[in-house]
Structure 1
């Protein structure tokens, strides 16, 4: 899937129009983007999700998840909540996933990929087969793989003209509400809807300097930032004006009035 635009942080939306439903086809696009994202050993079954729709999902389920999100106002406003999860049982299909890749030529014999290599090498190596190794490492790796799908889902939401933000809450409370088995763990929750705030959401959030995050040749040696690239990305809208926008406080005050939120609530959020 190829997205039509490159985005930075400009649609981390926290104020949604709760009265405007999201089209089913747009939710499918979001899910398709996550489904098609690559995964180690083709273990794409790691990424699973439950879609909750305001007014359609039973109130005890939808409200229960909102409560598990500590009743954050953005959860109270979102018309759709996608509960992304990690299904650790998917690793049991590792051999099948690798063989699928060999059969379609994604893994090939020129690079040494054979059924024998899978059975006698990969499946017996803890660094590849997380079921053999440390469970903590397996969960960490699984979370990264699920995160790749969620990232694509967020971009797809923006590409469909929607606002989206990720949220965390009481995972232990979520599992029984959704009927999840023990081998499934709720990960991030993606709130989706049409923005009630400006899509710039007040401007680019603070970020660490480029040179403090990325290194060249060895750890700690800053990778130089090319200002020509910065200029191009700014022109294309990926890098936007740093927050706060001069009108942001007025916008928040207007949103608070629209949704009957007190100043105290706004400070908490």
Structure 2
């Protein structure tokens, strides 16, 4: 797949709009970051509902938004176990409510967990106005963005055998390797430049590599979901990218891995 100048232009223009907003929210932390994640989760809920529920998407989107927003507020208040409980309960109640309204119960319940779990971890990782929380959040964004961008560029320039042609015919093994290397380098760079607690540069690279692998997995997983629902893109919000879900699918998986790394560091530091 050769580089398409029009596609590159659309992607660059979208990034120039979205990246500064994300960076500003991450930097500000607190209620600004919480609001940013809530708005993002609501947009994702609408895309998920439109993709999976078609004519009855409003009811599904409302169910997901209520459950995820409640979990995010609980997380911001320092009540992570309660937030996780809200997500599980929200998935169960949402599935039942969806079934009563004639919607796909499994799609609604899965939507609460699929969208809510990463959003909760993004808020937990930022930890209000904490400087270390800022560094860890920057870590996950840097790894996911680096892996995604380099995978696209290397795959387009080098080409070669397809990674998983059944679900994502444009992705190549060369792009996968490029993305993995970029994630490892981004992880090492952030760890070298910022206070990451006991995380060393070597282990930062390892965590970046794992985060990049999760980024690739998230991208492939969403491709499989779109195939299941018979759609090309999750939405049309972002020119050159499709929907917001098409843009953050890798980040949603990467934050799970990075949050696990953060928990290990906290345990080693005796903080938990």
TM-score band w.r.t. shorter chain: 0.3 to 0.5
Question: More helix by proportion, 1 or 2?
Answer: 2
Larger C-alpha radius of gyration, 1 or 2? 1
TM-score by length of 1: 0.35
Question: More strand by proportion, 1 or 2?
Answer: 1
- Larger relative contact order, structure 1 or 2 (CA cutoff 8 Å, min sep 6): 1
TM-score by length of 2: 0.35
